[in-house]
Amino acid sequence: MNPKRAPIAELARDYREDRAEASDVIGRTMDAIERAEPGLHAFVSTRREKAMDEARAADAAFAEGRPVGPLAGIPIAVKDNMHIRGEPTTCASRILKNYVPPYGSTAVDRLRAAGAIVVGKTNMDEFAMGSSTENSAFSPTRNPHDPERVPGGSSGGSSAAVAAGLVPAALGSDTGGSIRQPASFCGVVGLKPTYGRVSRYGLVAFGSSLDQIGPLSGSVADTARILQTIAGFDPMDSTSSDVPTPDWTQALDAPIREMKVGVPKEYFVDGMDAGVAERVRAGIDRLEGLGCRIEELSLPHTEYAVATYYLISTAEASSNLARYDGVRYGLRAGGDTLQAMYRRTRMAGFGPEVKRRILLGTYALSAGYYDAYYLRAQKVRTLILEDFRKAFESVDVLVTPTTPTPAFRIGENIDDPLAMYLNDIFTTTCNLAGLPGVSVPCGRIGGLPVGMQLIGNHFDESAVLRAAHHFEQDGGFDG
């Protein structure tokens, strides 16, 4: 990867200087998607006609010298759990078949208002539940680096579309690592912003205290540019924050000399791939070479994060997914009584992993088990948050591996839910603590990308993006 690349900025410049036409770029993008899709399955749906109309409108605006948005004519892919008004959202689930949302999501609307052209909706694990995109009701997405391997998940369609060079950026959502883990498996940049930074209005809810929308792209500069467009207060999301949004694209070049970088020892565990640990250690050495001050520290409750996460996220999911009862959305199965209709609809509409998580969450919330499971998990969440609070008293960012292994094979973990969950061992902590985290490539093992995660304090995306940008400029993506 060329460290100086920022494809969005370059394409925007080409448009401004009349060296490219949006209708040509979007047409070629749609052709490339069509050619790649039979082997890749990154998309649930594409929007060729609408995208071409939007591209021609952008070309007309450029030709007539009318004001255009900063992302005018830039092709973008969107995970299929975010709404575009009047167009289907499936969440890769049978239960949302034929569902057409009557409103758009704030994040996508903001991108489109800035001129970006959505070329299609990307594949995902059903309702964003999974780490491989194998739980899609349609078809698993394949990893562009090795079609026998998963792209990660749940935003696997978005990461694969970026990694395959089909789009310069895509939106994903991250509840326990669903942006960062697929970014890591596909060798792209994936950012989960601070909880509250990006409005979730129009994002289909999974775990409401954990969900956050963020960008995947090929470079840190482009990541910052997309974040700039989607971040900021939205009265339509009660968890949206009015903390001011800094100019991230301008902040990237500020020096990182003397930046304090913490390395939590609990993120280098027995049983993880030795090559992954080695690449991430080399990445940390590179940051030290760039003038960062490296400090080993401890986040003692890290080992409890996956258990805490799977109790809290499934409890919230069981509640959020209660709305899919055959009355208001998509699929409706027949039944003699209302109760039978609900049950048959949900049985026919949900895939096995979604059912498993609804059952687990319902169990954790049920009478007699609430205190032992759900409440206890909420208390451990406090301990995990306190670990980070203490760490950020002495460091600016934390650096860890994103995942314990590179991309695994399709089918390898699908029959073992617990093994699949343990893939999230390094990523769920950011969601539990509401912190921003970015995964950047840091070399490869046997042709497969490895990801390094940088975690920042609340609302300090600037620090992680700056460190990631300098790492990229120094050639760190290639290891």
Partner 1 sequence: MKISAADVAYVAELANLEVGDGEKDALAHQLSRIVQYVEQLEQLDTAAVEPTAQVVADGARAERRDRVEARDGSSEAAETVGLFRVPKVIAER
Q: Smallest gap, in angstroms, from Cβ of residue 208 to partner 1?
A: 8
Whether 79 is a known active-site residue: answer yes
Q: Smallest gap, in angstroms, from Cβ of residue 327 to partner 1?
A: 5
Q: How many residues make contact with partner 1 (CB under 8 A)?
A: 71
- Nearest-5° angle of CA 233, CA 235, CA 236? 115
Nearest-10 crossing angle of helices 48-63, 22-40: 160
Q: Smallest gap, in angstroms, from Cβ of residue 298 to partner 1?
A: 16
Q: Is 382 in the site for partner 1 (CB under 8 A)?
A: yes
Q: Which is nearer to partner 1, 144 or 207 (CB)?
A: 207
Q: Which is nearer to partner 1, 20 or 433 (CB)?
A: 433
Residues 6+ apart with CB under 8 A from 58: 15, 22, 23, 68, 72, 73, 115, 117
Q: Which is nearer to partner 1, 41 or 83 (CB)?
A: 83
Residues 6+ apart with CB under 8 A from 25: 11, 55, 73, 75
Q: Which is nearer to partner 1, 217 or 457 (CB)?
A: 457
The whole-angstrom separation of Cα 227 and Cα 460 is: 13
The residue whose two tokens read 């913490």 is 262
Whether 178 is a known active-site residue: answer yes
Tokens for 61, please give them.
């605006």
Stretch that binds partner 1, among 118-126, 129-137, 354-362, 405-413 (CB under 8 A): 354-362
Distances in Å between the Cα of 150 and the Cα atoms of 125, 143, 153 are 11, 5, 8
Q: Which is nearer to partner 1, 211 or 472 (CB)?
A: 211
Stretch that binds partner 1, among 53-61, 63-71, 262-270, 415-423 (CB under 8 A): 415-423
Which 172-211 positions form the footprint of partner 1 (CB under 8 A)? Answer: 194-196, 208-209
Q: Which is nearer to partner 1, 103 or 298 (CB)?
A: 103
Tokens for 19, please give them.
């060296």
Of 204, 232, 240, whose CA–CA distance to 83 is shortest?
204
Q: Smallest gap, in angstroms, from Cβ of residue 436 to partner 1?
A: 11
Of the candidate residues 273, 344, 370, 445, the single one contacting partner 1 (CB under 8 A): 344
Q: Smallest gap, in angstroms, from Cβ of residue 139 to partner 1?
A: 23
Within 10 Å of residue 244's Cβ, how many Cβ atoms? 9
Q: Is 86 in the site for partner 1 (CB under 8 A)?
A: yes
Residues 426-445: x where in contact with partner 1 by CB under 8 A, - otherwise, as a string: ------xxx-----------
Residues counted in the chain: 479
Q: Is 46 in the site for partner 1 (CB under 8 A)?
A: no
Q: Is 268 in the site for partner 1 (CB under 8 A)?
A: no
Out of 178, 219, 241, 462, pick the active-site residue: 178
The residue whose two tokens read 């696997």 is 156
Sheet of strand 293-297, all strands in order from the earlier edge strand to the far edge? 43-46, 117-122, 75-79, 169-174, 212-217, 189-192, 437-445, 448-456, 397-401, 260-264, 293-297
Tokens for 67, please give them.
């004001």
Q: Which is nearer to partner 1, 388 or 471 (CB)?
A: 388
Residues 6+ apart with CB under 8 A from 281: none
DSSP 454: E
Of the candidate residues 50, 293, 356, 444, the single one contacting partner 1 (CB under 8 A): 356
Judged by DSSP in three states, 314 sits in: helix
Stretch that binds partner 1, among 63-71, 128-136, 241-249, 463-471 (CB under 8 A): 241-249
Whether 219 is a known active-site residue: answer no
Stretch that binds partner 1, among 13-21, 221-229, 277-285, 367-375 (CB under 8 A): 367-375
Q: Smallest gap, in angstroms, from Cβ of residue 338 to partner 1?
A: 6
The whole-angstrom separation of Cα 447 and Cα 453 is: 19
Out of 23, 132, 136, 154, pick the active-site residue: 154
Q: Which is nearer to partner 1, 2 or 339 (CB)?
A: 339
Residues 450-469: x where in contact with partner 1 by CB under 8 A, - otherwise, as a string: --------xx----------
Residues with catalytic function:
79, 154, 178
